[in-house]
Amino acid sequence: MWFAAVPAGADWWLVDSAGFRPACTDQKGMNMSGSDSGRCDAYLGRNAANYVPLSPLSFLDRTASVYPEFTAVIHGSRRYSWAQIYDRCRCLASALFRRGIGYGDTVSIIASNVPELLEAHFGVPMVGAVLHAINVRLDPASIAFMLEHSGAKLLIADTEYSDVIAAAAGRMQTAPEIIDIHDQNGSGGRRLGSQDYESLLQEGDNQFAWRLPADEWDAISLNYTSGTTGNPKGVVYHHRGAYLNALSNALGWNMGLHPVYLWTLPMFHCNGWCFPWTVTAMAGTHVCMRKVEAQAIVDSIREHRVTHFCGAPIILNMLLNAADDIKVGFAPPVKAATGGAAPPEAVIEGMEKLGVELTHLYGLTETYGPATICSWHADWDMLPLSERARLMARQGVRAFLQDGLTVVKPGTLKPVPADAQTIGEVLIRGNTVMKGYLRNPDATGEAFNGGWFHSGDLAVRHPDGYIQVKDRAKDIIISGGENISTIEIENVLYRHPQVMEAAVVARPDDYWGETPCAFVHLKASGAALNTQDVIHYCRERLAGFKVPKTVVFGPLPKTSTGKIQKYLLRERAKGLEDDE
């Protein structure tokens, strides 16, 4: 109705009865007199007094000025105040600048969760450059590809990964200059560069007059997706999105000022879901962590009074499976945000006993990390465990400052009914969706088709509007016209005490079209299982048409980052003989 009445022409928004003219949006945003188009009142436009580009760099500036003596970073025996971290970031920016690194240049870094990686989240964009943090578990070929594709001008590299870095550099025609991070808390490794990080900082000026980006749309970072096939895609983030997602994290998680944040989530993973910027905005303390192990997590939480941490379910499992003597309950409870897979009942129960309050998030590299949050309602606390687990298994609602979330019939923009049954594709829209894929207009155009970001994940909508992810689009099985979620079957298999890992894929079938085929890796210690045992176990817990028709035992193929390669399993399922 509103839409219908607005004239379609470009100028409807100039109609103005009281002087509220549209913005004289000057691209530089910095001069109030230079942009008067003659049709709008320039004096109500942007100027240096009333417009400042949104950038998470502002958070560091404010926190360092208001709380200069507060503890910013703890790493082993190293401690930095906010004044010191700000100085170090300015020294880094200044040193980069003196080397000629500036607007639009890429600075790559490969490191564990050490202070240097945190500092790079500020020092690199302070000169207008783009931070490219590399997954430390990647193989040399992937790293070489990313360094070349991103046009990295410099590589800051933790000596712990010197072997793989040297191998990657060896594959490149022209490898970037390397600056070594030589961390006392590290496990050694070789120096590959001519200089280390601390001496680089010493080249810089701690009063360096960095500035905000000219445009909040400027790139701040680059994160490669770890696709299971093909070359990784370079996801570009901008200052505006990083700023908003950083605040969204704090607001949606009800984080509060001065959190003590433990770095169990890799900072190279979607820029640590933007938490390097969040924790800085909230004037918290970053507790770094090189080796993520149960003992170290528990010790850090106790020693530094950690209030928050994030991580994939493996972090929670690590705590759950830790020896009893290190598992003494935390008081006050610690808040943990988890994503990647829904926390199952056993994990929720175990975390409750341990004093860890879980929040379930969902997102993708393309959404700066969290795009949805399973916002908890206080009255759900009273429900029995199984019911709480059912509610928490849902990926939830749009994140605090995310603008749009829907689940649509694939190939359309029509939302599926909120019936908890009908599966559709998850679409996301908002300021915390990427700029696009670097040097890949085709993939970018496809991802943004119809004015929404297409996640490639399939989900249902519950009657209360919360969404629940059922499968990746390419993984879903269609059997006799019914959608079958491979995640649902895998969740059942994982609950079997003898199953270590499981993956389910579609197997072509003349009659049904496809049927579920389960690949199962058993625990070494347990009793042997056969196909009938697995099918019987599933039949008791799943609708008949979802029960795997085929079961294959053995280890599962994985990428260097630990993702199960379902496309290889699909090929194997396709090639199975009829009687298998």
Per-residue mark of binding to its own copies, 279-308 (x: CB under 8 A): --xx--------------------------
Distances in whole angstroms, Cα of residue 409 to Cα of each of 31, 425, 461, 466: 47, 6, 12, 17
**Rounded CA separation 542/344 (Å):** 16
Which amino acid type is present at position 436?
G
Q: Is 368 one of the binding residues for its own copies (CB under 8 A)?
A: no
Tally helices (H) and strands (E) across the chain.
Answer: 18, 26
Least spacing, CB of residue 242 vs its own copies, in Å: 13
Least spacing, CB of residue 245 vs its own copies, in Å: 12
**Rounded CA separation 34/559 (Å):** 54
**Rounded CA separation 86/45 (Å):** 33
Which residue among 43, 305, 412, 530 contacts its own copies (CB under 8 A)?
43
Which residue among 122, 197, 330, 452 contacts its own copies (CB under 8 A)?
452
Closer CB to its own copies, 414 or 575, in the complex:
414
Q: Is 321 one of the binding residues for its own copies (CB under 8 A)?
A: no
Closer CB to its own copies, 43 or 478, in the complex:
43
Are 240 and 54 a contacting pair, CB within 8 Å? Answer: yes
Residues 6+ apart with CB under 8 A from 467: 372, 394, 395, 396, 397, 405, 407, 426, 459, 460, 461
Closer CB to its own copies, 20 or 511, in the complex:
20
Contacts with its own copies in 177-206 (CB under 8 A)?
205
Least spacing, CB of residue 373 vs its own copies, in Å: 9
Q: Is 444 one of the binding residues for its own copies (CB under 8 A)?
A: yes
Are 230 and 116 a contacting pair, CB within 8 Å? Answer: no
Are 237 and 222 a contacting pair, CB within 8 Å? Answer: yes
DSSP assignments along 39-93, one per residue: SS-GGGS--TTT-----THHHHHHHHHHSTTSEEEEETTEEEEHHHHHHHHHHHH
Contacts with its own copies in 209-228 (CB under 8 A)?
209-211, 214-215, 217-219
Helix (H) or strand (E) holding 275: helix 275-281
Least spacing, CB of residue 44 vs its own copies, in Å: 5
Which residue among 35, 71, 94, 395 contacts its own copies (CB under 8 A)?
94
HSE-up of 52 (CA within 13 Å, CB side)?
8
Contacts with its own copies in 377-396 (CB under 8 A)?
377-378
Contacts with its own copies in 511-540 (CB under 8 A)?
none
Least spacing, CB of residue 95 vs its own copies, in Å: 12
User: What residues are paired with 113 via a beta bridge?
Assistant: 289
Which residue among 76, 84, 139, 151 contacts its own copies (CB under 8 A)?
151
Q: Is 82 one of the binding residues for its own copies (CB under 8 A)?
A: no
Closer CB to its own copies, 43 or 163, in the complex:
43
Which residue among 429, 461, 496, 570 contacts its own copies (CB under 8 A)?
429
**Rounded CA separation 233/76 (Å):** 35
Contacts with its own copies in 6-25 (CB under 8 A)?
10, 12-13, 15-23, 25
Distances in whole angstroms, Cα of residue 180 to Cα of each of 53, 112, 163: 33, 13, 13
**Rounded CA separation 511/520 (Å):** 25
| 3-class DSSP assignment, residue 483 | strand
The torsion defined by the Cα of 320, 325, 326 and 332, in degrees rounded to 10, comes to: 90
Helix (H) or strand (E) holding 181: strand 177-181
Closer CB to its own copies, 64 or 423, in the complex:
64
Sign of CA dihedral 566, 108, 161, 284: negative
Least spacing, CB of residue 201 vs its own copies, in Å: 16
Computed on alpha carbons and rounded to an integer, the radius of gyration of the chain in Å comes to 25
Which residue among 227, 417, 445, 508 contacts its own copies (CB under 8 A)?
445
Least spacing, CB of residue 276 vs its own copies, in Å: 17
Contacts with its own copies in 244-283 (CB under 8 A)?
247, 250-251, 254, 256-258, 281-282
Closer CB to its own copies, 430 or 548, in the complex:
430
Closer CB to its own copies, 6 or 478, in the complex:
6
The span of 3-11, 328-336, 342-350, 476-484 binding its own copies (CB under 8 A) equals 3-11
Q: What are phi and psi of 530, to 5 degrees?
A: -115, 175
Q: Is 27 one of the binding residues for its own copies (CB under 8 A)?
A: yes
Contacts with its own copies in 338-367 (CB under 8 A)?
none
Closer CB to its own copies, 368 or 519, in the complex:
368
Per-residue mark of binding to its own copies, 119-148 (x: CB under 8 A): --------xx-x------------------
Q: Is 106 one of the binding residues for its own copies (CB under 8 A)?
A: yes
Which residue among 115, 284, 430, 516 contacts its own copies (CB under 8 A)?
430
DSSP assignments along 361-409, one per residue: EEEEGGGTEEEEE-PPPGGGGGS-HHHHHHHHTS-BEE-TT--EEEEE-
Closer CB to its own copies, 13 or 554, in the complex:
13
Which residue among 355, 404, 456, 513 contacts its own copies (CB under 8 A)?
404
Per-residue mark of binding to its own copies, 46-75 (x: CB under 8 A): xxxxxxx-x---x---x--xxx--------
Sign of CA dihedral 237, 243, 245, 250: positive
Closer CB to its own copies, 403 or 482, in the complex:
403
Least spacing, CB of residue 360 vs its own copies, in Å: 14
